[in-house]
Amino acid sequence: MKVLAALSGGVDSAVAAARAVEAGHDVTAVHMALKTEGESCGTSRGCSNPQDRADAAAACAKLGIPFEVWDLADEFEEKVISDFVSQYEMGRTPNPCVRCNEFVKFRELTVRARELGFDAVVTGHYARVEKHGDRYQLLRARDLAKDQSYVLAVMGEEELSRVILPLGDMPSKAAVRAEAEERGLGVSNKPDSFDICFIPDGDTQGFLRSRLGESSGQIVDTDGNVLGKHRGHFEFTVGQRKGLGIDRPAADGRPRYVLETRPSENVVVVGPAELLSIDIVNTTDLTWDAGDDEGDVRTVQPSPMGTDEDECLYAQMRAHGRPVPVKALERKEGGLRVTLAESVRGIAPGQTLVLYRGNRVIAQSVIDGTERTKGAASAKQLGKRLAEDAVPA
């Protein structure tokens, strides 16, 4: 089979390409340049800094396969960076990795690959694709700690049918690094990147300010009392605690969190942690990825959770967040109303919700709003989960 291997310059994509070669495929490698020449991405993987490009080329030389560089900077700017900025301006919290995988790393890549006569695309993502009958399904990776099915859930069945994910069955990242060293690929010890690739210094607020400018507004509590000022509502996201710039402590001495932003008023609303606790999520832009009975919630006891035999329905709302069992599921026009079996905190509009049947991706949708019912967690219950739920949005 003639396949196109996407090489980022990291260890995962290099091992994936090596496995494709070993499987007997006719492999050509491509490195996607997502920033124009001269622009810096620091040490971050994904935007193609010179070292990444050199490492990808060296891996291809070792494997004896052709190496190409594709300039996708314009597509990346339009589909990912500009969208990221506009979403924050609207008071939403997008996941740029989901957007990048949808429009650049898979859609653009698979379309070009098909036009050039390739049968499939190979990447180093940690997830599995399986064919059941005449349908392709996306499943979590065996290594749940590295699973990337959440950010790949936007792929339709057409993309799934044309992608090969050789690392989905790997037991750990350590095993991938050991294989890279054994193959002499030269990137076995290259560190992972956890920041947004186009914001290498991690200063998201500064990046947004450079694109949107400053716009002074008020920080208020739930009663409308003014507590401080900010330089732009877009610098804040639901669940944020640090960097609020509030000098006056709450009357009870407890910390405050961002509860919502109001773009039309340029206002940021803050309050106590328990008001972040929600148990109903409303979504839009729904994509059903697999054949599944939409109305069959089957909130059975997981047996056990994390295995392919698990039939429980879960909702996951962050890339590395904890899957939450679903209590009720309602299909509505263009989206879902998902009632969770337990409350979660700090969920913001613009984030992605992915539904799983055990390990199998069922649907992907964009969070449009949340609700907090009477049964939502108390402050005491919330405090117990603070550490595990306090994942950056």
Three-class DSSP category at 278: strand
Distance CA 176, CA 172 (A): 7
DSSP 234-275: GG--TT--TT----SPPTT----EEEEEETTTTEEEEE-GGG
Give the dihedral sign, CA 178/180/182/185: negative
Pick the catalytic residue: 47, 60, 97, 100? 100
User: What is the token pair recorded at 164?
Assistant: 């090969």
* Angle, vertex CA 48, rays to CA 47 and CA 53, nearest 5: 165
* Angle, vertex CA 286, rays to CA 5 and CA 83, nearest 5: 65
Q: For residue 153, which phi and psi values (nearest 5 degrees)?
A: -65, -15
Distance CA 119, CA 54 (A): 26
Q: For the CA atoms of 255, 259, 263, 266, what is the dihedral angle to 10 degrees?
A: -30
Pick the catalytic residue: 41, 47, 97, 197? 197
Closest of 387, 320, 325, 352 to residue 145, by C-alpha: 320
Residues 6+ apart with CB under 8 A from 160: 129, 136, 137, 138, 289
Catalytic annotation on 197? yes
Q: Which residues of 239-250 are buried (b: 16+ CB within 10 A; e: fewer)?
A: bbeeebebeeee
Catalytically active residues, by annotation? 100, 197
